[in-house]
Chains A and B, each alone.
Chain A
Amino acid sequence: MQLVDKDQVAKSLGGRQLLNKSMKFLFLLCTLVGLVVLVTLIVDTVLDGWSHLTWDFLTSFSSSRPESAGIYGAIIGSVWLMAVTAPVAIVLSVGTALYLEEYAPKNRITNFITVNISNLAGVPSVVFGLLGLTIFVRQLSLGNSVLAAGLTLALMIMPVIVVAAQEAIRAVPSSVREASTGMGATKWQTVSRIILPAAIPGIITGIILALSRAIGETAPLVVIGVPVSLLVTPNGVFDTFQALPMQIYNWVKMPQEEFQYLTAAGIIILLLILFLMNSVAIYIRNKYSKRF
């Protein structure tokens, strides 16, 4: 007795193959929609801002007159901001991830903390701004300084780095952990010599993605009260400062048409910095990638 009807199989073949091919085109279409919108956005911005991307623009402070307004203060301010955010966020996040994955007992409390760190990654940035305003600006009297804003952004991106670092650490096979432990290495020796080197590409990718988010973040800076026009650069972490996204946000609000071109120029600068940061991330990832 034949259970498989050969005619039916032959008949359904064409349909299956057609569906197979159309799915491929459907997914290609999905990719293209995103790509086209992105390219349009970038081309439009570059066309608008290119002519204003002059040396004067890069080296002048902000101004109410569009022809003399520049982005110097904002670039320097953003660099200062990242110089505070990056080390604080990296140390806190990688430390947290290592503790949760390698040291903490695997129980319900650890699980609860892990889940809630992932939840924190989804909290809107304006909420972190309010947190920064309450704790750093007011309670610790740091004012609208580089330090207050840097710490706020560090807290904001911490969950993202923790989650990425946890995943990278978890991806290190337990067999090499056992090999190291089995030779009498202490926990810290295993972590520092085996686990961290193997997890570093994943951790760095997480760090750079998080910092890219931090450098373009506007809402927390608005809440903290970062000034939009300032004629000095900070001399230390307790000074106030300007930031790229704040500057762009401010220009886009301006009534004069000229400012819209400055906005575009500012966005190009921000995109270039992001592009540079991502290139560094990809370079490091490729350099240290070791397959298991």
Chain B
Amino acid sequence: MAELKMKEELDMNATINTQTEKKDPASGIVQSSKPVFEARDFNLWYGDNHALQNINLTFKENEISAIIGPSGCGKSTFIKSLNRMVELVPVVRTEGDIVYREQNIFDKSLSVEELRTKVGMVFQKPNPFPKSIYDNVAYGARVHGIRKKKVLDQIVEKSLRGAAIWDEVKDRLNANAYGLSGGQQQRICIARALAIEPDVILMDEPTSALDPISTTKIEDLMQELKEKYSIIVVTHNMQQAARISDKTAFFYQGYVVEHDDTKVIFENPKDKRTEDYVSGRFG
């Protein structure tokens, strides 16, 4: 097992090294952090449409990884593959492996429910349940069998604090979550994801439906969350990727064109298409 892990790390470092020939030594990769997700020759089809082609990507612990790319490039499909939500589309077929902490997520020994407990997700549009704020945040814990009121109370408070919204809602935990603003709703959704104490948080364009002030709040929050969680975020907004992420992967037409330190992607990209995209020439 240990050997396998070492081999993986070596492989991974090899991939990164080949991608970062002109790497700035100041932004050197922290060699010690472990990979959480690794896609290996991952392919995905929607019916006949080959949406993801030979994806090889590694995401590491306690980092924010951004996935950017023009519409329809497969970035949402990819992030939804990581917690197997993409399989809700009936015509999806996959090939290749996605490894989560040394375990293939498509392996039968790992149930989707277990995977999704460890890999939380925040969606593009705030999607709270039509329930009270308390019930929204406690939902995940209840689903996983936690019933004790005292424990639930603590989980709700901790999660709401973690999502930087506790002070705004502590006096109205029993109010319907639909009464909150879009930005608050999205932070409730983040709190809801935190409540099951995941390992990785996937965010699919978490701020695209929000105003600039709410966006800033959520970006600040992501920086705090990074200390405890690994975050993979899909974003349409290149400035956002540049601001918040440590690593950036550029997807184009179902391929990973380039994956590197965010600084390299934005300042010194290797591929012409990456350069064109990040400089706003297309997309």
Contacts and interface: CB of A to CB of B under 8 A. Distances in A.
Interface string B106-146: 00000011111100110101011110000000011011100
A193 B140 CA distance: 11
A104 to B, nearest CB: 11
Interface in A147-182: 173, 175-176, 178-182
Interface in A179-212: 179-186, 189, 193-194, 197-198
Interface in A89-119: 105-106
B130 A183 contact: no
A202 to B, nearest CB: 14
Given A183-B120, A193-B143, A176 B129 contact: yes
Interface string A265-292: 0000000000000000000000000111
Interface stretch (B66-74, B155-163, B188-196): B188-196
A255 B259 CA distance: 92
Interface SS of chain B: helix
Contact of A185 (B88, B113, B123, B193): B113
A264 B269 CA distance: 87
A292 B130 contact: yes
B116 A182 contact: yes
Nearest to B130: A290
A175 B144 contact: no
Interface SS of chain A: helix
A291 B176 CA distance: 11
A291 B178 contact: yes
B47 interface: no
B125 A175 contact: yes
B226 to A, nearest CB: 20
A173 B123 CA distance: 13
Interface residues of B, number: 29
A197 B135 CA distance: 13
Contacts, number: 72
Interface residues of A, number: 22
A184 B88 contact: no
Contacts of B193: 183
Given A105-B90, A106-B90, A175-B123, A183 B129 contact: no
B83 interface: yes
B192 A179 contact: yes
B196 A184 contact: yes
B180 interface: no
A184 B144 contact: yes
Given A175-B123, A178-B85, A178-B123, A185 B143 contact: yes
Given A178-B85, A198-B130, A290-B130, A183 B90 contact: no
Contacts of B139: 180, 183, 185, 193
B129 A184 contact: no
Interface string B158-199: 000000000000000000101000000000010011001000
Contacts of A182: 83, 85, 116, 120-121, 123
A166 B221 CA distance: 40
B143 A181 contact: no
A260 B74 CA distance: 73
Nearest to A187: B113
Contact of A179 (B117, B127, B142): B127
A179 B116 CA distance: 11
A183 to B, nearest CB: 4
Contact of A178 (B112, B113, B127, B142): B127
Nearest to A190: B143
B131 to A, nearest CB: 8
Contacts of A291: 130, 178
Residue of A180, A182, A198 with most chain B CB atoms under a 10 A cut-off: A182
Nearest to B125: A175
Contacts of B90: 105-106
Interface in B91-118: 112-117
30 contacts: A105-B90, A173-B127, A175-B123, A175-B125, A175-B127, A176-B129, A176-B130, A178-B123, A178-B127, A179-B127, A179-B189, A179-B192, A180-B139, A181-B85, A181-B88, A182-B83, A182-B120, A182-B121, A182-B123, A184-B112, A184-B115, A184-B116, A184-B143, A185-B139, A185-B140, A185-B143, A186-B143, A193-B142, A194-B129, A197-B130
- Nearest first, the 9 A-B pairs at minimum CB distance are A175-B127, A184-B116, A290-B130, A184-B117, A182-B121, A183-B140, A185-B143, A184-B113, A179-B127
Given A176-B129, A182-B116, 9 more contacts: A176-B130, A182-B120, A183-B117, A183-B193, A184-B143, A184-B196, A185-B113, A194-B129, A290-B130
